[in-house]
Copies of this chain bind each other. A is one copy, B any other.
Amino acid sequence: MKLALILQYLDFLGTVVFAITGLLAARRKQLDLFGAIVIAMVTAIGGGTLRDLIIGVPVFWTQNDLYIYIVVITTILFFFMARLHRLPVKLLLFLDALGLAVFTVIGTQKAAELGFSDPIAIMTGVMTGVVGGMIRDVLVGEIPLVLRKEIYATASFVGASLLLGLGHLEMEQDVAIVLAILVTMALRVWAIVYKIELPVFISYQEPKASAKSPIDSDPPA
Contacts and interface: CB of A to CB of B under 8 A. Distances in A.
A186 interface: no
A68 B207 contact: no
Nearest to A17: B215
Contacts of A213: 93, 145, 149
A62 B119 CA distance: 9
A200 B215 CA distance: 23
Contacts of A35: 146-148, 153, 198
A113 interface: no
A60 to B, nearest CB: 11
Nearest to A210: B142
Interface stretch (A102-110, A132-140, A176-184): A132-140
Interface stretch (A3-11, A48-56, A160-168): A48-56
Contacts of A33: 198-199
A85 B214 CA distance: 18
Interface string A195-219: 0011111110001001111111111
Contacts of A141: 141-143
